[in-house]
Amino acid sequence: MSTLRTHDDTWDIATSVGTTAVMVAAARAIETDSPSPLIRDPYARLLVTEAGTGVWETMLDDAMVAKVESFDPETAAVFHHMRGYQAVRTHFFDAYFADAVAAGIRQVVILASGLDSRAYRLGWPAGTTVYEIDQPKVLAYKSATLAAHDVTPSADRREVPIDLRQDWPAALCAEGFDHTAPTAWLAEGLLMYLPADGQDRLFAQITELSAPGSRIAVETAASHADERRQEMRDRFQRVADELGFERTVDVQDLIYHDEDRAAVADWLSEHGWRATAQNSGDEMRRLGRWVEGVPMADDKDAFAQFVTAERS
């Protein structure tokens, strides 16, 4: 279970779960600036540098990673893995949305959207509506920051500022969501921050709102043994001490490590969806982003699955 989370906790972009959105955006910025990027997110660096979170902004500095390599090569490999993983994950779900709109879907819902910029950076067909659900302060930061730099959405973007533990279906419908129209749903970087019963409830709510032909894409919560989690916690603390960073948030403290969590593909297949799963480690290898020397390389369960499904 999570050690810091409560049933009614909240956050902005610089605290708790909100800071992880900055970490993910930093990885997208790094990939975008690489010589042969898998994805292009021209707004990621802007969203990171104006967030004021400090530690995650250091991910943008190659000199920092080089310094880590000098005294802890395995932890440096983890940093490189994190960067590559986020690029592969973004690439996979970008392709999912491209396929969905090519099939005629014009209604999109991004759950716990964080600093996701797809409503701005993807080429959506005319008539596409993208609903973003997240904490009010997180959505407000993103929209205000991009608007201040004259960045406008490439679709009809509609904010749904609500916690997913509240009555988000009602809030979504109040913004114009049509439950009779096929929808492309995305749950990326979300499930690990929900307990097992919360995950089941979320998918039940999505299923109830999904017309035939709807699609869903999900990043599952990876499973790490207690000793592996503690090992990584200790590694990152040593790095923080060496580099002089204050660790205000330990991501492991934000995650629900729930052994009763349902397998996503199985749950969906049992509730009216046709689901398939792709191991993220295999996808990293396929796209040339696998990093040798990652400590958990021999543990298949340590890598999330990318699940996609279609509603019958």
Domain containing residue 189: CATH number: 3.40.50.150
Q: Give the pairing of strands 305-311 and 273-279.
A: antiparallel
The single-letter code of the amino acid at 233 is R
What is d(CA 260, CA 129) in angstroms, rounded to the nearest whole number? Answer: 35
Contact 147, 46 (CB under 8 A): no
- C-alpha distances out from residue 271 to 11, 196, 276, 308, Å: 32, 17, 14, 14
What is d(CA 31, CA 279) in angstroms, rounded to the nearest whole number? Answer: 21
What is d(CA 179, CA 183) in angstroms, rounded to the nearest whole number? Answer: 8
Instruction: Write b or e for each residue in 86-105: b if 16 or more Cβ atoms lie within 10 A of its Cβ, otherwise e.
Output: bbbbbbbbbebbeebbeeeb
Contact 94, 308 (CB under 8 A): no
Which residue, chain included where needed, has tokens 């390599």?
69
- If one compares 63 and 149, the residue with the highest pLDDT of the two is 149
Task: Sheet with 107-111: list strands edge to edge.
Answer: 156-161, 129-134, 107-111, 184-187, 215-219, 305-311, 273-279
Assigned domain for 273 exists: yes
Q: What is the pLDDT of residues 40-69, one digit of tens each?
A: 999 999 999 887 665 556 655 667 777 777
Reported as half-sphere exposure (CB side, CA atoms, 13 A), residue 69 has a value of 9
Among residues of the chain, what percentage have pLDDT more than 90?
62
SS3 278: strand
User: In this structure, how many other beta carbons lie within 10 angstroms of the beta carbon of residue 290?
Assistant: 17
pLDDT above 90 for 72: no
Domain that residue 130 falls in? 104-311
pTM score: 0.87
Helix (H) or strand (E) holding 99: helix 73-102
Which residue, chain included where needed, has tokens 């019963």?
197
Number of compact structural domains in the chain? 1
Mean pLDDT score of the chain: 86
- If one compares 228 and 69, the residue with the highest pLDDT of the two is 69
Assigned domain for 74 exists: no
What is d(CA 151, CA 120) in angstroms, rounded to the nearest whole number? Answer: 8
pLDDT in the model for residue 119: 98
